Amino acid sequence: MPLICPTCRKSETRVVDSRDDETVVRRRRECLDPRCKHRFTTYERMEAPRLYVVKKDGRREQYSREKVLSGLRRACEKRPISDSQLESTAADVERALFARGESEVPATLVGEKLMEALKALDPVAYIRFASVYRSFRDVESFREELSALLK
């Protein structure tokens, strides 16, 4: 569908300049009508598909990258892990979830993907996250997880 010049309402325009960042493409356009030659800007934003997380009790809530990052930050508190590493980890997990092509994913899958990523990133952060996520009931279950990590 051609873009219409906002001044003369003709549908013949060309792109003069294009700038791209992660979330939006900015295009400077020019009307091709020789009497008009008006320049204007358009913005293109990609619409991300919606992903819902199905909780253990059956509730559904929209996937939140901020919530994932918050959990990662808590697990990695006072650990030698940069914010860019956490962002990258969250992006990797998010990509894996969206790659499934489903509109809903179980919360357990999100948690398992995060634990998998944390195990490779930092064992202490992994144990911290696992202790909350798996809600260890006693010291023995915690010890079992720790010994599995040490193997």
pLDDT by position in tens, the chain (length 151): 678 999 999 999 999 999 987 778 999 999 999 999 999 999 998 776 789 999 999 999 999 999 999 999 999 999 999 999 999 999 999 999 999 999 999 999 999 999 999 999 999 998 889 888 777 777 777 778 778 777 7
Q: In the chain, where are the structural domains located?
A: 13-45, 52-150
Among 128, 109, 110, smallest CA distance to 119 is for: 128
144-148-151 Cα angle (round to 5): 140
Report how far residue 87's alpha carbon sits from residue 93's, in angstroms, rounded to the nearest whole number. 10
Beta bridge pairs of residue 45: 24
Report how far residue 99's alpha carbon sits from residue 95's, in angstroms, rounded to the nearest whole number. 6
